[in-house]
Amino acid sequence: QTLLLGPTLTFDGDPMAEPWQEAVRIDSRGGVLLEDGRITAVGDGDTLSAAHPMAEAVRYGENHLICPGFVDAHVHYPQTAIIASWGKRLIDWLNDYTFPEEMRLEDPAYARAIAARHLDLTRANGTTTVASYCTIHPHSADAIFEEAAARGQRVVAGKTCMDRNAPEALRDTAQSAYDDSKALIARWHGQGRATYAITPRFSPTSTPEQLSALGALWAEHPDCLMQTHLSEQTDEIAWVRGLYPEARDYLDTYEAHGLLGARGLYGHAIHLEAREIDRLAEVGAAVVHCPTSNTFIGSGLFDLSGLRARGIRIGLATDTGGGSSFSMLRTMAAAYEIGQLRGTPLHAAELMWLATAGSARSLHLSDRIGRLAPGMEGDISVLNLASTPAIAQRVAQAKDIWEAVFATIMMGDDRAIAEVFIGGTRA
């Protein structure tokens, strides 16, 4: 037994659906009991100490916050080494930076090294679960599942499928995408802490035949997730229109091939039409907001408040390497800034919820991760709310704990991560 004592962040409700004051709470003298990899009790620190005198107590001072580990709902681990590549918009960025790097993962040893590097960098930033695209190589999925298993870490991943509009060395076929994905599902889905996500990259790099094959695979394995990209840039949308002349809109290219559903994750979803929003809401799909990517690649301003008003589930993500940071703190800051540009700033409580419970819910993992509550897995990040002189001097003036949390969201980085627990073990 380990008992973490200090300020705790807990959720009683859903701040996307009700006022955050009713849904999110910080208990300045809280406690979290960890046992056999899970959280078994959360509550008043003194009460838990008295009830569990034999537990190893770890005390964090008042300038700390014990939080659920961050959940990054959309990353491309193969792009780790090309993060922050200058000066291109989506299609040129893919062709000039991304595809050449993804080709290098043809070497299984390189794939394994990059998967390890990605999990190390994200963990240093307080992220305990990522949902990652891989490359077309099946061994690239093995690489991240194996590295996550070695860390006892929950992970979502899937082999990326592309059978057109990509270099020859990065193309599979409709049949091989189906066969390889099916074999990976058998090998990994539900093994330990692994979840498989069927992963057509996006409509422009799949033929209708490949989308249909992957839609059929999803129908055979409805408990798998499905992740893809949707309406990120206007040039991309025009390209999709040309490639799929019968489709009513971008989302319809997925819908027509069995790739729209409640367990679908649609990354970006910036330039949506009314019908697309209606359908996403009707089927209960999730969209994933990737704010540093959207400004870095010049995609546009995600309408979080509009989609939330429609009850659409929203995850938060870095989208590295299109995103410009491995940090979910920086990602929350960018979401705040985009909210400001749209006139709808998010409160720190809402941002913290999105980066933890909200992302977990988008991944259909909210019964396991994303909250400090009995029965949840022991994935925890402890923030230092005074990690740099610049933040500390602002916190010295904070009127309440939320002002302090907000300063770390806006200015914090990996130095703000005091400790990370994965599956109940200090990492």
- The contact set with Zn ion (CB under 5 A) reads 267, 319
Taking the complex as a whole, the smallest distance from the CB of residue 171 to ligand GUN amounts, in Å, to: 14
Q: Select the residue interacting with ligand GUN from 72, 319, 350, 379 (CB under 6 A).
A: 319
When the beta carbons of 293 and 384 are compared against ligand GUN, the nearer one is 293
Q: Select the residue interacting with ligand GUN from 210, 231, 293, 356 (CB under 6 A).
A: 293
Taking the complex as a whole, the smallest distance from the CB of residue 75 to Zn ion amounts, in Å, to: 8
When the beta carbons of 115 and 401 are compared against Zn ion, the nearer one is 115
202 contacts ligand GUN (rule: CB under 6 A): yes
Length of the chain counted residue by residue: 427
80 contacts ligand GUN (rule: CB under 6 A): no
Specify whether the CB–CB gap between 133 and 160 falls below 8 A.
yes
Residue nearest to ligand GUN (CB): 322
In this chain, which stretch among 32-40, 90-98, 254-262, 385-393 interacts with ligand GUN, using CB under 6 A?
A: 90-98
When the beta carbons of 259 and 383 are compared against ligand GUN, the nearer one is 259
Q: Select the residue interacting with ligand GUN from 232, 252, 350, 377 (CB under 6 A).
A: 232
Taking the complex as a whole, the smallest distance from the CB of residue 55 to ligand GUN amounts, in Å, to: 44
When the beta carbons of 72 and 319 are compared against ligand GUN, the nearer one is 319
101 contacts ligand GUN (rule: CB under 6 A): no
C-alpha distances out from residue 2 to 345, 368, 380, 417, Å: 37, 19, 12, 19
Taking the complex as a whole, the smallest distance from the CB of residue 112 to ligand GUN amounts, in Å, to: 20
Q: Which two tokens stand for residue 364?
A: 């259909």
Taking the complex as a whole, the smallest distance from the CB of residue 74 to Zn ion amounts, in Å, to: 5
Q: Select the residue interacting with ligand GUN from 6, 322, 339, 423 (CB under 6 A).
A: 322
Residue nearest to Zn ion (CB): 319
C-alpha distances out from residue 250 to 128, 134, 243, 254, 272, Å: 32, 23, 10, 7, 8
Residue 327 contact partner, candidates ligand GUN, Zn ion, none, CB within 5 to 8 A by sort of partner: none
Taking the complex as a whole, the smallest distance from the CB of residue 382 to ligand GUN amounts, in Å, to: 31
Q: Select the residue interacting with ligand GUN from 201, 330, 347, 361 (CB under 6 A).
A: 201
Count the site residues for ligand GUN by CB under 6 A.
Answer: 12
4 CB burial (10 A radius; 0-12, 13-18, 19+) = buried
Q: Select the residue interacting with ligand GUN from 76, 151, 257, 263 (CB under 6 A).
A: 76
Taking the complex as a whole, the smallest distance from the CB of residue 227 to Zn ion amounts, in Å, to: 9
When the beta carbons of 164 and 426 are compared against ligand GUN, the nearer one is 164
When the beta carbons of 288 and 422 are compared against ligand GUN, the nearer one is 288
Taking the complex as a whole, the smallest distance from the CB of residue 293 to ligand GUN amounts, in Å, to: 5
**Which residues sit at the interface with ligand GUN, rule CB under 6 A?**
76, 90, 94, 98, 201-202, 229, 232, 293, 297, 319, 322
